[in-house]
Structure 1
């Protein structure tokens, strides 16, 4: 696909929209707010333009206009520094060249746990209830603790009812059995709010090429059932109660339950690639807190939350050991957290945040008989001060005591200089990440598609640390914003999976540790994965963004990201797995109202270079995807009816390569698909 073909959908829309604006009708202004309120960068609410740490925001208007079904669709279409690869066990997320474990995912400011083989289940995020997504790049351990080395993704959902009664239902259908049905009910009365939501989402599996290379035979292929992308069925229920007297006290309590099950082809006797079982997970999450406002600028916050995630195998095919319907639990993860936090304004032009945080993490895994837990205590202090009319500084620090790895100190220093419409930001922050319980103790073995996967934890691992330096320049007017960010992230004692060859002496030892390995499988067991500390990692990055509203109701954006992510082991530098050098995201939105009818047009595209994989695996080729969608809103005395129609992957870009054990993918699209939806709101 050449550049001219890739640009065609966006150019056509950009030409057509100004013509539409000439009609004699009412036009809605300010499709996107260029200066929204954010909280992730500094831990308290402030305008984006005033934030010392640069934060990127995907607002509710942007989410609604692109009509995403999943969290992954919403973020990768706009943020070039972030990529997500679907997997039968969840999603593999990368932020600024670094993997899942370096990107802290928060839901309303509290971490979201739960993974299968390192892949996070992002289906726990209900996109119909999301108000904005904030992304903070770089180390943020001074405020958020462990894991925030590559950055923070904070998903903010609806917090309270906006009117006494509101009901919304969302329906979305597409190819491969993709279907979503969501319903939300809001009740509000004299400061009390009740928010109830339910979402059912499902998708079938698919593959773009039914062939795969036959193991050990060059050039020989055969039919395979193994899907490029697995399907799923998931249900998510959330209930939130809140009270705010709009004077001194606000309270909330929230709980959610998520059930998720994969959909994959079943084992057949004549064609390889099927599965005897599906992966089924369940997650329970609760969160409760109180805020007491001492004055307009001083408050105390107390919060407790818990997260419980469990998964296992549910058999669809009878085997020698299991009957159809049998469920075998594989792993359970739990996290409990309590935090006391104060936000104060003791001095003119200053904000001080102080808090203490306690966490206790648990891992119970059947494979390897792992039953471990670890607790941490932390205290943090952050002071933000206006030094002059145009200069603001931030100094933050966090002390952490980890039950296994002892004491750690993570500071942060940042400056913001603004003059008229120009903002200049510079920062240094220290990152910290304690090895996960799975990396320390997990023993995992599976045999899928005639190939074994064996991963062994390492109790001798050291904690990872990082030094992050960044500089940001941004110019903002009423109509447009442009900015550029450069950064360097140096990671010390980086934890990586190393491939260890299996020799004859190790076979007997491995079979004692993993009695489920059969005699036939031993022949194919040539290596296993082990967690180790490499020497270091280093990420160089440059990002540029531009947003403009050239006409009332029309908004355009363009983002570019260059990431050079490298890791060193035994003196040898190599590309970090799944890192991408160059990525561009482009988009356009237009909204126009004629009386009780509003038209919304949206187009977006993502272009990226190849994705790097370690030897002996092949790199995945680059690609470009374009999507368009339309929304039509009709209003009738408090009732809103909004049908939508769109096309995903307009140019039918697919990776049709024949599958093999050494082949990896970056583009998981099944090709051009029609997407239809209906939203009704009262």
Structure 2
């Protein structure tokens, strides 16, 4: 079932002995084009060229996804500047963007949200890269267009659609061996004839799981089998009226005899796009998604069932001075969960607007705002202003200031989780007051959580000193206010009718935190055959409340477990947990157009980071705490196409077997500090 060494050697031999017909001169020129003027839609909800967007944006093309050997969304995001995948203590992974936590990043599929978060995180392995045209990542607060959860930014997955009459498709088989045994089978069909277009695809993925700590009883990741199916039907009723119906279905079974987890994720979108005039377009969209997860652990069954309905109308008007977007809609959300009492509902109508214009030559300004009114939290108004100015033909300045917010989620309001065996319970603020509101100690704890809010600043330059070199330099700052955090209520267990010694946790708004830094992206075309891509991020983070404590002189720490306590100063203060000061990536791509052969080598670096306070300094991380060591992972891939009908790819991820074993002593039984060893893979794809 899984790739073995003999198969890998066969694939390598095929790559070096096979060749195909030479491409024409025009095809070479097209393939080697360096000027990346791809169109993106996420940043402004209109089609704009990447180079003209006045805010920091990453565009990941289909070619980059395929060349890197990625099969799930997680794989390709790991290699992007300013992005890292972090693991919490529940072994749930999420995307950290510019140092902002994963639950503040909104993940979209063709502009509509994916639901079903675990501990605030979307499981990225639920999302296959099958049928993806490109991935668009907007950094910084984007609530002016997308509402709650977009404090850190937006990741929008754009799927394929036919642009002309055509029939094409592919079938691929991917197998990974080594530290991770995985099988991935894909099929795609794109067809268009006159007014009708169809895109369909299927993906099967399975893994035997893996175990980073064999000495412990459970596996790090249990075996799984999953299926993803997608279907998109487009019909042009006339030159001015177009309709699209699309749906996606995901199903996964994970676990073994003692533990089982089932997930189902279904969504459907109906969209009508009507050109009322040459300059006035209206989109009518209805979106519905349902996510369900059932788990069995120690013979105890839990259920998570979430539904979201979203009707929306968006109008786009083009004037001589600019483009105006106006829209209105509503999020109708419900969640039923074992740890909740009854079905909880959020109803959130909203309106938004944006004006994109050029007041003078070389100056582009985008002004937008959104207003949301909810039945569960205070209304929110989120404006944003972005602009770019072309100073010279090779230098452009860009800047943006945006306000973001994140509403308290169902878990923070209604959670009712009891783990009496471990001696603790976790209650949402509403549940805490519903159960124990008659106690004076509970009445002093906030019942109504405030929505978290942020102001994000981005300023930088797009520089192209020579035709083959392009640099993007961006300075950023994110200030997050009213952060919602878990805390120990210190309530007397006897008053709550709980076993003696049981600790009760709930949620509260705390002081501000910030992330700031600089990021640099570089694209350099050495010649028609070689391209170099690189990126670097310097990150500084902090909790303003903790900094005040340090300044007051009331915080002490120990350099070693046996040394005497010393007063902490700001020079000792490190910042927020699970953040690295330095991150970088470097990728070299080689193309041989004569023989349809390509190869690449990619390296990703992450400097040290701390998970929590380990030297008893009031939960504040300092330079003498235990840190997860820095690591660099290098991957290579080789790709060969035969007569445009068959493609063969082999590669090795984590080439030098970086595993993080030096972290085991400081972080016992914590698999999040360990990494997979080397994995090798092969893919064969047939095109028609």
Q: Same fold (TM over 0.5)?
A: yes
Q: Distance in 2 between matches of 1:24 and 1:312?
A: 52
Return 5+ residue gaps in structure 1 as ranges.
Answer: 1-22, 212-223, 267-275, 323-327, 512-521
Matched residue, 1:208 = 212
Q: Distance in 1 between matches of 2:61 and 2:193?
A: 27
User: Which residue, out of 605, 608, 613, partners 2:606?
Assistant: 608
User: Which residue, out of 458, 465, 490, partners 2:453?
Assistant: 465
User: Which residue, out of 53, 58, 61, partners 2:60?
Assistant: 58
Kept after mapping to 2: 8 A contact 1:579/1:611: yes
After TM superposition, the structure 1 = structure 2 runs for residues 19-418 of structure 1, keeping only pairs within 5 Å, are 27=28, 29-30=31-32, 33-85=35-87, 91-160=93-162, 163-175=165-177, 176-211=180-215, 224-244=216-236, 247-263=239-255, 276-314=258-296, 328-348=301-321, 350-418=322-390
Q: Distance in 2 between matches of 1:394 and 1:47?
A: 14
Listed one character per residue, the Cα deviations across residues 188-214 of structure 1 (whole Å, up to 9, x for unaligned) are 211211111111111222223423xxx
Aligned-pair distance for 1:58? Answer: 0.7
Matched residue, 1:643 = 648
Matched residue, 1:498 = 487
Q: Distance in 2 between matches of 1:184 and 1:162?
A: 17
Q: Distance in 1 between matches of 2:23 and 2:151?
A: 52
User: Which residue, out of 611, 629, 648, partners 1:621?
Assistant: 629
Matched, 1:420 2:402: no
User: Which residue, out of 654, 659, 662, partners 2:659?
Assistant: 654
Aligned-pair distance for 1:633? Answer: 0.6
- TM-score with structure 1 length normalisation? 0.84
User: Which residue, out of 546, 551, 555, partners 2:522?
Assistant: 546
* Change beyond 3 A, Cα 1:539–1:24: closer
Listed one character per residue, the Cα deviations across residues 629-661 of structure 1 (whole Å, up to 9, x for unaligned) are 01111126xxx2001100111111002244887
Aligned-pair distance for 1:83? Answer: 2.5
Q: Distance in 1 between matches of 2:240 and 2:477?
A: 43
SS in 1 for 2:593: strand
Matched residue, 1:456 = 427
Listed one character per residue, the Cα deviations across residues 346-391 of structure 1 (whole Å, up to 9, x for unaligned) are 223x111111121111111112424210111111111111011111
Matched, 1:588 2:582: no
* Larger CA deviation: 456-465 vs 466-475: 456-465
User: Which residue, out of 456, 462, 472, partners 1:474?
Assistant: 462
Aligned-pair distance for 1:423? Answer: 1.2
* Change beyond 3 A, Cα 1:34–1:445: farther
Aligned-pair distance for 1:67? Answer: 1.5
Kept after mapping to 2: 8 A contact 1:229/1:668: no
Kept after mapping to 1: 8 A contact 2:227/2:250: yes
Q: Distance in 1 between matches of 2:33 and 2:86?
A: 27
Kept after mapping to 1: 8 A contact 2:171/2:186: yes
SS in 1 for 2:596: strand
Matched residue, 1:13 = none
* Change beyond 3 A, Cα 1:88–1:262: farther
Q: Distance in 2 between matches of 1:580 and 1:528?
A: 32
SS in 2 for 1:551: coil
After TM superposition, the structure 1 = structure 2 runs for residues 428-577 of structure 1, keeping only pairs within 5 Å, are 428-445=401-418, 454-459=425-430, 460=447, 461-476=449-464, 478-499=467-488, 504-505=493-494, 509-510=497-498, 527=503, 529-569=505-545, 571-572=548-549, 575-577=575-577
Matched residue, 1:217 = none
SS in 1 for 2:130: helix
- TM-score with structure 2 length normalisation? 0.83
Aligned-pair distance for 1:498? Answer: 2.7
Aligned-pair distance for 1:124? Answer: 3.3
Q: Distance in 2 between matches of 1:25 and 1:478?
A: 24
Kept after mapping to 1: 8 A contact 2:94/2:124: no
Return 5+ residue gaps in structure 2 as ranges.
Answer: 1-21, 431-446, 551-573, 615-624
Kept after mapping to 1: 8 A contact 2:88/2:672: no
Matched residue, 2:578 = 578
* Change beyond 3 A, Cα 1:614–1:86: closer
* Change beyond 3 A, Cα 1:24–1:100: closer
* Change beyond 3 A, Cα 1:283–1:346: same
Q: Distance in 1 between matches of 2:470 and 2:503?
A: 51
Aligned-pair distance for 1:510? Answer: 4.5
Listed one character per residue, the Cα deviations across residues 556-582 of structure 1 (whole Å, up to 9, x for unaligned) are 111001222222447547733322221
User: Which residue, out of 634, 641, 645, partners 2:642?
Assistant: 634
What's the RMSD between the two structures over aligned residues?
2.7
Aligned-pair distance for 1:89? Answer: 6.7
Kept after mapping to 1: 8 A contact 2:486/2:505: yes
Q: Distance in 2 between matches of 1:196 and 1:559?
A: 35
Kept after mapping to 2: 8 A contact 1:470/1:486: yes
SS in 1 for 2:426: strand
Aligned-pair distance for 1:33? Answer: 4.8
Q: Distance in 2 between matches of 1:528 and 1:662?
A: 26
Q: Distance in 1 between matches of 2:35 and 2:236?
A: 26
Q: Distance in 1 between matches of 2:311 and 2:576?
A: 35
Q: Distance in 1 between matches of 2:234 and 2:494?
A: 61
Listed one character per residue, the Cα deviations across residues 429-472 of structure 1 (whole Å, up to 9, x for unaligned) are 1111111111111123458xx85774322232111111111101
SS in 1 for 2:373: strand
Q: Distance in 2 between matches of 1:454 and 1:662?
A: 24
SS in 2 for 1:402: coil
Q: Distance in 1 between matches of 2:174 and 2:490?
A: 48
SS in 1 for 2:212: coil
* Larger CA deviation: 175-184 vs 157-166: 157-166
Kept after mapping to 1: 8 A contact 2:324/2:355: yes
SS in 1 for 2:526: strand
Q: Distance in 2 between matches of 1:253 and 1:453?
A: 47
Q: Distance in 2 between matches of 1:183 and 1:203?
A: 19
Aligned-pair distance for 1:331? Answer: 1.3
* Change beyond 3 A, Cα 1:564–1:246: farther
